[in-house]
């Protein structure tokens, strides 16, 4: 994930308690990638996660649509057993390296989404200033 150092954005990956014992979190933790266990929507709000890995515990509290509404900029993940329409579905049967690569791809997806949103905001601001000048 070398290109993340160019952007200097911290990416928080929130995951439900069902995934807490997975070794992947220690392996990907860095200055720019911060895996964080969450047990509720309230906890998630404290971290503003870029990626949210939903489990049964989190979806019992709130349905997927509510999570998406609360975190419109996040990339949502789950495992195939969850049967949810999320951005990326992970499989329990994947080799470890593939899981790491899928998480990396999800981070890139979030970066692209965030940059697109940023550009749209800048464009809107530019148009507002141009309209003020035209008036």
5-61: pLDDT as tens digits: 445 789 999 999 999 999 899 999 998 899 999 999 999 999 999 999 999 999 999
- Which CATH number do you get for residue 32? 3.40.50.2300
DSSP string, 37-63: E-SSHHHHHHH--SEEE--HHHHHHS-
| pLDDT interval class at 3 (50, 70, 90) | very low
pLDDT of residue 128: 73
120 is in which domain, residue-wise? Answer: 4-134
Looking at the structure of the chain, the number of domains it has is 1
- 2 neighbors 32 (Cβ within 8 angstroms): no
pLDDT of residue 2: 43
More reliable by pLDDT, 54 or 133: 54
pLDDT of residue 127: 67
* HSE of 85, CA atoms in CB hemisphere, 13 A: 2
Beta-carbon contacts of 25 under 8 Å, excluding residues fewer than 6 positions away, are: 13, 15, 19, 35
- For residue 93, CA distances in Å to 12, 89, 97, 99 come to 25, 12, 12, 10
70-127: pLDDT as tens digits: 999 999 999 999 989 999 999 888 899 999 999 999 999 999 998 988 887 787 777 6
pLDDT of residue 16: 95
- Cα 111 to Cα 64: distance, rounded to the nearest angstrom: 22
């Amino acid at each position: 994930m070398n290109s993340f150092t160019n952007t200097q954005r911290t990416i928080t990956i929130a995951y439900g308690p069902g995934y807490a014992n997975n070794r992947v979190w220690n392996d990907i933790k860095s200055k720019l990638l911060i895996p964080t266990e969450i047990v509720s929507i309230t906890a998630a709000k404290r971290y503003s996660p870029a990626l949210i890995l939903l489990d049964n515990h989190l979806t019992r509290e709130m349905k997927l649509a509510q999570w998406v509404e609360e975190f419109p900029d996040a990339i949502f993940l789950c495992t195939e057993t969850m049967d949810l329409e999320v951005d990326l579905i992970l499989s329990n049967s994947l080799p470890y390296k593939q899981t790491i690569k899928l998480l990396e791809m999800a981070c890139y997806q979030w970066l692209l989404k965030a940059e697109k949103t940023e550009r749209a905001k800048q464009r809107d601001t530019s148009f507002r200033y141009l309209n003020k000048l035209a008036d």
